[in-house]
Amino acid sequence: MSSRADSLYNNAFSLINNVGVPNVEDMELQLQDLVLQGILSPEDAQAALAGDSAMGGITLDPALKQKQMASLAALQDLADNGGVTLTDQANLRKTMDQVNAEERGARDAIISNADARGMGGSGLALMSQMKNQQDAATRASNAGLDMTAKARDMALQALIQGGTQAGNVRSQDFNEQSQIAQGQDAISKFNAANQQQTNLANTAARNNAQQMNLQAKQAIANTNTAQRNSSQQYNKELQQKNYENQMNKAQTGANLLTGHAASSQAQSNADRENNQKLIGTALTAAAMFSDENVKEDVECFDPSAFLDSIVPKKYRYKDESMGEGERYGIMAQDLEKSPAGDSIVKDTPVGKAVDTAQATGPILASLGDLHHRLKRIEGDGHA
């Protein structure tokens, strides 16, 4: 029994020794760092700009401008010519011609009248002619003065009208150009404001993107740092865990060894007690069950078959816990070949066993049979 306990202990201890305790390198954490997959790059907004002003495409009838310039040129000519137009000059010549014609008619009438009165060539006739010429000159002078005054007035009016007309033309050109410029200025202001607003929006978008990218990088850096710190702390604790694993394994082996020692001692004591009990039990059983009064169907049997089944053998147990070293005895399979031997063979989970207590009966019976045979032989010999 002690040998079997030793074998079981050795098997258990071998199993414990074969338990692999993980080493520190296998238990270390190897965390992967987080990686920034991309950065935010916002697209720039495009400013919608207004086109050229429609006022720039306004065209005026050139005939109107030509008439204005022609009128201005006519006024300028009138002013340059002293206010006398060709018509005025023609009227003045006509008036002068008329005055001259009247003066000649009057002079001829005076001469004719003087001749008729017999005063031709006289001083009176001469005076009448002179007076007529003087009157004609006066009329011509008055006509000239009237013409000059009228011409000066017309020249002044022409200058005034020319200045006014030139101012109007200049004002008209200025207004046209001013309106075109104002339209273009409005477009420029709109475009500038729209461009500025777009620039501000693009700047804000880039600033926000940069801030988000920096925040993402910082978050990744913080996470990686936290992971490395956590893995470092965990890996530092692996030495203690490995030590605890080794100690647990050693403690289990020590407990097994202690248990085995106690079990072996207890088994040894139990074996001694059992052996003593078996001897006493065998004796008690033999005494109890050999009483003739408790038996029936009693008859003699020939122990020859039983003795034939007892074949001496030498052997070793495969499992030393059943017994160590070289042994001598019989095989249960041989005993089963006889009725008496089969009755003392028992099937157990580990194999066939011989009930030694039950074997006492057949053995004693065989000894009795051999004794009687020997006595008969000895009696025959003496005879």
Q: What is the pLDDT along the chain (383 residues), one digit of tens a residue?
A: 456 667 766 777 677 777 777 777 777 877 788 888 888 888 888 877 877 777 667 776 777 777 778 877 877 776 777 666 667 777 767 777 777 777 777 767 767 776 776 665 666 566 666 666 667 677 766 776 676 767 667 666 766 776 677 677 667 776 777 777 787 778 888 888 888 888 888 888 888 888 888 888 898 888 888 888 887 777 777 777 776 777 676 667 666 666 665 666 666 666 556 544 544 454 444 444 577 888 888 888 888 889 899 999 999 999 888 888 999 999 999 999 999 999 999 998 888 999 888 888 899 889 999 998 889 888 864 44
Going from the C-alpha of 292 to that of each of 230, 252, 357, 361, the distances in angstroms are: 88, 58, 18, 13
Q: Which residues contact 23 (CB under 8 A, 6 or more apart)?
A: 242
- State which amino acid sits at residue 7: S
CA dihedral (15, 21, 26, 29) positive or negative: positive
Using an 8 Å Cβ cutoff, are 151 and 88 in contact?
yes
pTM, full prediction: 0.34
Radius of gyration of the chain (CA): 80
Domain ranges of the chain: 55-209, 299-382
Axis crossing angle, helix 123-289 with helix 356-382, rounded to the nearest 10: 30
